Structure 1
């Protein structure tokens, strides 16, 4: 929402997200910044851009893509994002406040250990009198100091509790003011008897600790822009703004089945006037270009990545049991190829136009998605057909836990543990890449595995909510939007059935067969699997259509019941079969369910 009361920073961020597409800088380099990436989803709901048909909502109010305090300079040419020092000042306030609080609280603790509790709690003869003396006690001052430190740590971990933290710290500050006033103005007591030097120092230390931290939190509240967010969120009415045309980069690490749905998304975005580039492995170039979508090659071999995944069983434990230096090196190459993917021309196309991404869509295995978005200062939107956001409903797909178990905290924790483990495996090379290539500050090594959730980056899950509904504990910036349907055959397509004439003839000779296909899985022993399929077909007397991809499954020895076919569109093939047996790939699962076909999943991991 953009009104006359919108603060300048929020207004400039609106213009950044909604500016007309400008000509990119051919020699673009990442801007140098000392600010760490911060989610602006917690700021005002100023910008929400719709960039896809159906339920795919590019809800990117600049989440996880640009620092809260970036100043945006409006120019007629390429947009310049010039970060200010506000975030750096806020981080400095946090650091020095934490050090001051720790030092003063440590002094108070040592004071009580050395001086003894008796200095605080005086035994009295009159049973009607309390042993606690407000104006001479130090234990309550220590408790206030410890509590204000706890609230400060909570603020660092959960920034959206900032107002509650400020209110509680102000109450503690008032309490400490009352204690100081009670000492200073209590004329009925002999000060030298009531307070000796150490007690006075303890009171001063605890008071400074509480007051300093409270003031620091209030300063951080205004410097970091939280006050702007609260102020702008209270505004109305909303002002409708047109959706600009954008240069959008889609970053994908995965197999053919991972890439195909994003081609459908790219075509939908193109129909809305956006320029779209799909950056994925070089082996998918022909597939992407065949649908008139721009391409940029990422490093990495998806076939080898699939083989490693099958070998590890697709679990974190399997990854730890089967470490591979070659895999880490390949992941490093993939990550380092992300920056040119969002800023450079296609090296294999001499006629390619300059490209600089103004919005990024990515799947989680790209790993470097959030870092290139920060370097460019552009919105990031995550999309994936597997759960990647913590929930109690079911565990992380790589956690190796029972999916039939009841909802539990263990399920939610599995996401944190898996994210942290994957981050630790790549943290040092990503931080080196951030510093040397992206010119960004390194991210902390411990505790940074769940950046997507912490920074509230919008996440769309690509399965039907009728199949698996959105868990109740997923936040508003996470949604289940449905499987991306992309028809490769039928009216308006250039699909040629001629190469499949033998298949069509075989299909016409009997009842619809059972489809068996394992997508891009790398099968360890294809001949053994082929024998199992032929034996099952022979015993059941059922016709079987076997599709092969990277692993060749040959069942030609049983021609009367089995037929082998290579890659072909599922939207053309599956309507011709009676049931489907497959590896559980998201695309094949969605295609089978969409047609109402009986489905049996034989998972490889």
Structure 2
């Protein structure tokens, strides 16, 4: 069996595919990956022996580029992204039995179009449930396209969501489809997801509420045990004192990285704790030469989060899950998209604190840290850690092989 895993997005969209790819190979499948051509993504996949082909421009360059995504520039960005999918993926998918697509909505729609053209099986996967239509909650609004405040019915909002996606991405998708001899689609969102999307999140952290409108397969998060050792200097720092607080915002281009680092370090110091600063795409670093701080780049979060007092982060699905599995109390400072949702889930579960807004002050972050470091929060985080699934990628790999092996394609492209 040959499987192509296709994505376009940040590290949080790429890392789960590493876990799935490894589990698929263990079951005898041949795996290929299409992902953004960022060097760190390629190194991570290559390090696990997974073949990867770059598609489109650097995700980091696109994420940090000015101006930010808006109603004006999203259609053009979508057109370029879809065109790159349709141009590159067909040759990579040659001989594949199945295409698994995730990442940005235009990328998923473009990948499904390729699967349709080739006549191979197709599965769409998301790493948070907020883009799946459900009458039990409203959708996320796209940049520059707020929902009318007078519309409060969730079903009506999801109709508006479909219209918004069509307005932003419909022309771009259908132009690329026409170029490969495919007819236009009338509903980009529903076409991209299909009638049986997969939700690769933990059911404790992200419980899917069943809806009659959609048959969702929830597998658990795709996490591969990370055996990479921590750098020797980081280990020495960890062993030189009490567990520090980790602060990092991953792939978020937090404005004013230096100021964000200053605020975070000052807040942690008020709690009498040492600090580990994750540089991330905001390029945060140290603010002085005191020996209570240490800066890291790419590092094994699974190993590190098990050795810290708390984790302050942006609320990406992957970071939230990794911290929860490690039993580390969390302070989530959500920046955009699904991150306020994950912040809310952390607070609801009692395993940490949701910061109010994306730009903390030293005082507001210190207050959140006090709550996160309280004994009851620490105990709750340790208890929930034991309930988080560890077999999501294994389950997903087996489901894919069983489905295709039994000639029961999840759905035709």
The TM-score range, normalised by the shorter chain, is: 0.7 to 0.9
Tell me if structure 2 keeps the 8 A contact 1:266–1:293.
yes
Give 1:393 shift. 2.3
**The one of 333, 337, 343 aligned to 2:80:** 333
Q: Which residue of 1 aligns with 2:45?
A: 288
Alignment of 1:363 onto 2:102: yes
**The one of 119, 123, 142 aligned to 1:377:** 119
Tell me if structure 1 keeps the 8 A contact 2:139–2:161.
yes
Tell me if structure 2 keeps the 8 A contact 1:416–1:450.
no
Return the alpha-carbon distance in structure 2 between the equivalents of residues 601 and 435 of structure 1: 43
Return the alpha-carbon distance in structure 2 between the equivalents of residues 531 and 364 of structure 1: 32
Give 1:307 shift. 3.3
CA deviations on 1:124-151 (whole Å, 9 max, x unpaired) are xxxxxxxxxxxxxxxxxxxxxxxxxxxx
Alignment of 1:551 onto 2:282: yes
Q: Which residue of 1 aligns with 2:59?
A: 302
| TM-score, normalising length: structure 1 | 0.50
CA deviations on 1:534-558 (whole Å, 9 max, x unpaired) are 2213322211111112221112515
**The one of 133, 144, 154 aligned to 1:390:** 133
Return the alpha-carbon distance in structure 1 between the equivalents of residues 247 and 181 of structure 2: 49
**1:507–1:364 CA distance, 2 compared to 1 (3 A):** closer
Q: Which residue of 2 aligns with 1:485?
A: 223
Alignment of 1:537 onto 2:268: yes
Return the alpha-carbon distance in structure 2 between the equivalents of residues 378 and 531 of structure 1: 51
**1:559–1:475 CA distance, 2 compared to 1 (3 A):** farther
Return the alpha-carbon distance in structure 2 between the equivalents of residues 340 and 278 of structure 1: 15
Tell me if structure 2 keeps the 8 A contact 1:343–1:356.
no
Give 1:481 shift. 1.7
Q: Which residue of 1 aligns with 2:164?
A: 421
Length, aligned pairs only = 323
- The 5 A counterparts of 1:169-188 are none
Return the alpha-carbon distance in structure 2 between the equivalents of residues 375 and 429 of structure 1: 17
CA deviations on 1:150-182 (whole Å, 9 max, x unpaired) are xxxxxxxxxxxxxxxxxxxxxxxxxxxxxxxxx
Tell me if structure 2 keeps the 8 A contact 1:344–1:356.
no
The CA RMSD over aligned residues, in Å, is: 2.5
- The 5 A counterparts of 1:186-197 are none
> What is the SS of the residue equivalent to 1:344?
helix
Alignment of 1:442 onto 2:197: no
**1:423–1:580 CA distance, 2 compared to 1 (3 A):** same
Q: Which residue of 2 aligns with 1:465?
A: 203
Return the alpha-carbon distance in structure 2 between the equivalents of residues 340 and 433 of structure 1: 9
Return the alpha-carbon distance in structure 1 between the equivalents of residues 243 and 190 of structure 2: 47
Return the alpha-carbon distance in structure 1 between the equivalents of residues 153 and 100 of structure 2: 30
> What is the SS of the residue equivalent to 1:557?
coil
Gapped runs of 5+ residues in structure 2?
144-150, 337-413
Q: Which residue of 1 aligns with 2:14?
A: 259
Tell me if structure 2 keeps the 8 A contact 1:514–1:542.
yes
> What is the SS of the residue equivalent to 2:312?
strand
> What is the SS of the residue equivalent to 1:422?
helix
CA deviations on 1:374-419 (whole Å, 9 max, x unpaired) are 111112111111222211222223469xxxxxxx973344333223
Tell me if structure 2 keeps the 8 A contact 1:470–1:479.
no
**1:604–1:337 CA distance, 2 compared to 1 (3 A):** same
Give the ranges of 4+ consecutive aligned residues of structure 1 lying more than 6 Å apart after TM superposition: none
Q: Which residue of 1 aligns with 2:375?
A: none
Tell me if structure 1 keeps the 8 A contact 2:258–2:285.
yes
Return the alpha-carbon distance in structure 2 between the equivalents of residues 572 and 250 of structure 1: 26
Return the alpha-carbon distance in structure 2 between the equivalents of residues 474 and 527 of structure 1: 48
**The one of 77, 91, 94 aligned to 1:344:** 91
> What is the SS of the residue equivalent to 1:282?
coil
Tell me if structure 1 keeps the 8 A contact 2:35–2:53.
yes
Q: Which residue of 1 aligns with 2:249?
A: 518
Give 1:479 shift. 2.4
Alignment of 1:270 onto 2:19: no
> What is the SS of the residue equivalent to 2:311?
strand
**1:310–1:417 CA distance, 2 compared to 1 (3 A):** farther
Return the alpha-carbon distance in structure 1 between the equivalents of residues 261 and 200 of structure 2: 32
Return the alpha-carbon distance in structure 1 between the equivalents of residues 100 and 29 of structure 2: 13
> What is the SS of the residue equivalent to 2:116?
helix
**1:526–1:380 CA distance, 2 compared to 1 (3 A):** same
> What is the SS of the residue equivalent to 2:306?
helix
Return the alpha-carbon distance in structure 2 between the equivalents of residues 300 and 432 of structure 1: 20
CA deviations on 1:470-500 (whole Å, 9 max, x unpaired) are 21215563122211111221xxxxx354xx2
Return the alpha-carbon distance in structure 2 between the equivalents of residues 249 and 524 of structure 1: 35
